[in-house]
A and B are shown apart, each in its own frame.
Chain A
Amino acid sequence: MSTQATGLKRIAIEPVTRVEGHGKVTLLLDENNKIKQARLHIVEFRGFERFVQGRPYWEAPVLVQRLCGICPVSHHLAAAKAMDMVVGVDKLPPTAEKMRRLMHYGQFFQSHALHFFHLVSPDLLFGFDADPAIRNVIGVAKKFPDLAVQGVMMRKYGQELIRATAGKKIHGTGAIPGGINKNLSIEERDFFLKDLDQMIEWSRGALKIAKDYTAENLERLAGFGSFDSNHTSLVREDGAMDIYHGRLRSIDAEGNRIIDDVDYVNYLDYIAEEVRPWSYMKFPFIKSLGPEKGWYRVGPLARINACDFIDTPEAEAERKEFMALTNGKPNNITMAYHWARMIEELHSIEKIQELLHDRDLQGTDLVAKGDMRGEGVGLIEAPRGTLFHHYKVNKDDQITMANLIVSTTNNNEPMNRAVQKVAEDYLSGNEITEGLLNHIEVAIRAYDPCLSCATHAMGRMPLVVELYDAGDTLVDRKVKE
């Protein structure tokens, strides 16, 4: 990069810490430390779309979920939904759909808890440029032991829900083409009912922290890595937030609908991906607007912005309060992702409560049958945003084509914009310190990216900052273990 950038210095943050997966940030600075270019790079190459080819279609939900160790349920369910279509099933038996939903809400609950309590809270509780020796999950555990324990217990609750629905806490087999392979026993249900009230209470508490933090620091946060953008999400037919199934909706920064009420099977008519030579991650955009203007955000912020209402009472009251901050218009504050995420945390546990009291979960009609179709598309709202799975299957039951657009890919352009914005606002012209560099990571973390959507080395990765001169010679290198 610095080859054509004569006279510039290059700083690399590699790897970015407290996110899922591996990525790096490069900054190009001139002699006066003015930012010339800032980019988030994805440094891994996966290849799942290629090596799933030739495999029997029913393997996809179990195979492809290996992309990720944090929210494998999203891939498991998106692939299963695509395979429902392949086996000609348009409507699952109620037990099957509700078991899958319980699995998914359990996953939301654990994934959002992990992100908020363990990855993000050090920044919020200690400050973006606090001593990095304290600004980590161990520091949180020492100073705020109750919070650290809540994070662990909430994550555990969600993981146990996944185990009860998928057979294993990570990489289970529950969803199968056309249905599910088990129901929820009364004993399993009662196990979850026991701690339910506690989980609801802690979710309220976490939401309050995120909300109060945003309110107290609004002046600073409003502009932090923020920019106007489009927002994309699945929305239930009646406009409610629905993370398991819905129709595709995209709105612009003012709330005007660009895409609405679209059957996601036709996603290719509306969404395209751009390839840029410096990243392994593609850049999706809304076709009608083109790559320049068509990029969009996904995830908690986009979901709250795009839906008309939330169908659980407490989360709906919180959504209204959230939207009131921006007078009902979409909220484009990057750091508001945390608040939105905790509204979803509360929504998830409200949904879990609703499902646990539903006797359909003890039903025995688990799988529906249909006529083979040869192609299937499955979309789902993963914790990090809209996830697309698309497969073609030949007459011998083998997968011949797979296309995956993972949640974080949708947020590629927004994360790059956030990095650029923070670099310009905070680093440009200043002496570069670790605390300032962490500002960039704070902006990335707001999106809760799963950079490779697979490996996760959170907290234990060393942060390497390298300073190069104009000739790309390493001038300085600092390593934080």
Chain B
Amino acid sequence: MADNFTFIIDGTEIPARQGQTILKAADEAGIYIPRLCNKDGLEPYGACRVCTVLVNGRPQSACTQPAQPGIIVENDTEELTEMRKQLIEMLFVEGNHFCMFCEKSGNCELQALGYRLGIAAPRFPFMFPQRELDATHPEVFVDRNRCILCGRCVRASRDQDGKNVFQFTGRGIKKRISVNATSRLADTELKSADKAVAACPVGSILKKGVGYAVPIGERIYDHKPIGSDIESKAK
């Protein structure tokens, strides 16, 4: 295989290098593929499926699927947008996401995707699960009500912080983020400056005492939808 090649996304030919994922190549070309569990600098994980695209007609997660010469990728289609909306809506009803008082509002990737995809109200019944908030740590708290199990904190703590503070426990609907201690976040090695804290796309892992310090109007997604930074790279 040639080191440099091209493939097609939504009718546009874009360049790619060998070993690049479809998502990475699209990013560099200024084409936004919605995603949640993927984050620059972290190993691709393929958990949330929001980045699902059709590769030669077959669904694949763009964050894990390597780009290949000549493939035909469909991304911005009605069918895929509808599927992504359903995924996001399921995440909303599976946890307890109350944007109206969540301090991550305006900076939250889940909320921003909801807006970008045009979700007005969830179609699925709310599950209102019983989830726990761990505020024992002096600098950081974990609110599992808002966790979407993307695993970004798990990977960031393990691969970037070298600490393994966060891990998944349980299976299926009972799956949760747990901490590497008997029970409390306070008993881990976590520091507020750790990459694992900054990795959370939602309001689940937050620095204490920050709250609403950034006024409405100056938050990340107040004026531009999520993905605008990538799209601004388009030539």
Indicate if A431 sits at the interface (CB-CB under 8 A): no
Q: B214 at the A/B interface (Cβ < 8 Å)?
A: yes
A172 and B135 form a contact (CB under 8 A)? no
B residues in contact with A294, CB < 8 Å? none
B183–chain A nearest beta-carbon distance, Å? 13
Across-interface contacts of B208 in A (CB, < 8 A): 56, 397
B166 at the interface (CB under 8 A from A): no
Contact across chains for B216 and A398 when beta carbons are under 8 A apart: no
> For the complex, is B133 an interface residue (Cβ under 8 Å from A)?
yes
Interface status of B211 (Cβ within 8 A of chain A) = yes
Q: A446: shortest Cβ distance to chain B, in Å? A: 32
CB neighbours (8 Å) of A55 from chain B are 133
Shortest CB–CB separation between residue A175 and chain B, in angstroms? 9
**How far apart sit A59 and B101, CA to CA, in the bound complex (Å)?**
7
B141 close to A (CB within 8 Å): yes
Q: Given A66-B101, A171-B100, A398-B133, A58 and B216 touching (CB < 8 A)?
A: no
Partner of B103, one of A58, A171, A396: A58
Cross-chain contact B101 with A182 (CB below 8 angstroms) = no
Chain A, Cβ-Cβ closest to B206: A56
Instruction: Count A-side interface residues using an 8 Å CB cutoff.
Output: 23
Q: Tell me whether B215 and A66 are in contact (CB under 8 A).
A: no
Cα(A167)–Cα(B218), bound, Å: 9
Check A172–B101 contact: CB distance below 8 A.
no
Say what secondary structure dominates the interface of chain A. loop
* Contact with A176, one of B101, B133, B141, B211 (Cβ below 8 angstroms): B211
Pick the contact of A172: B141, B211, B216 (CB < 8 A). Answer: B216
CB distance from A164 to the nearest CB of B (A): 10
CB of B216 within 8 A of CB of A173, answer yes
Chain A residues positioned under 8 Å from B133 (CB to CB): 54-55, 398
Whether A181 and B215, one on each chain, are in contact in the complex, defined by CB atoms closer than 8 angstroms, is yes
Quick check: is B136 within 8 A (CB to CB) of the other chain?
Answer: yes
**Does B213 lie at the interface of the complex (its beta carbon under 8 Å from any beta carbon of A)?**
yes
Contact of A63 among B101, B136, B209, B215 (CB under 8 A): B101
A166 to B215, CA, bound (A): 8
Flag if B101 contacts A174 (CB, 8 Å): no
Q: Is B217 part of the binding interface, using a Cβ–Cβ cutoff of 8 Å? A: yes
In the bound complex, what is the Cα–Cα distance between A40 and B110 (angstroms)? 44
Residue in B closest to A55 when the chains form the complex, CB atoms: B133
**Does B101 contact A168, Cβ atoms closer than 8 Å?**
no
19 more CB-based (< 8 A) A-B contacts, given A56-B141, A58-B103, A58-B212: A56-B135, A56-B211, A58-B209, A62-B103, A63-B101, A66-B101, A166-B216, A167-B216, A168-B216, A171-B100, A173-B212, A173-B216, A174-B215, A176-B213, A177-B211, A181-B213, A181-B214, A396-B135, A398-B133
What are 13 pairs between A and B in contact, CB < 8 Å? A56-B211, A58-B103, A58-B211, A59-B103, A62-B103, A62-B212, A172-B216, A173-B212, A174-B215, A176-B212, A181-B214, A397-B209, A398-B133
Please list the 4 inter-chain residue pairs (A to B) with the smallest Cβ-Cβ separation, ordered nearest first: A167-B216, A58-B211, A173-B212, A182-B215
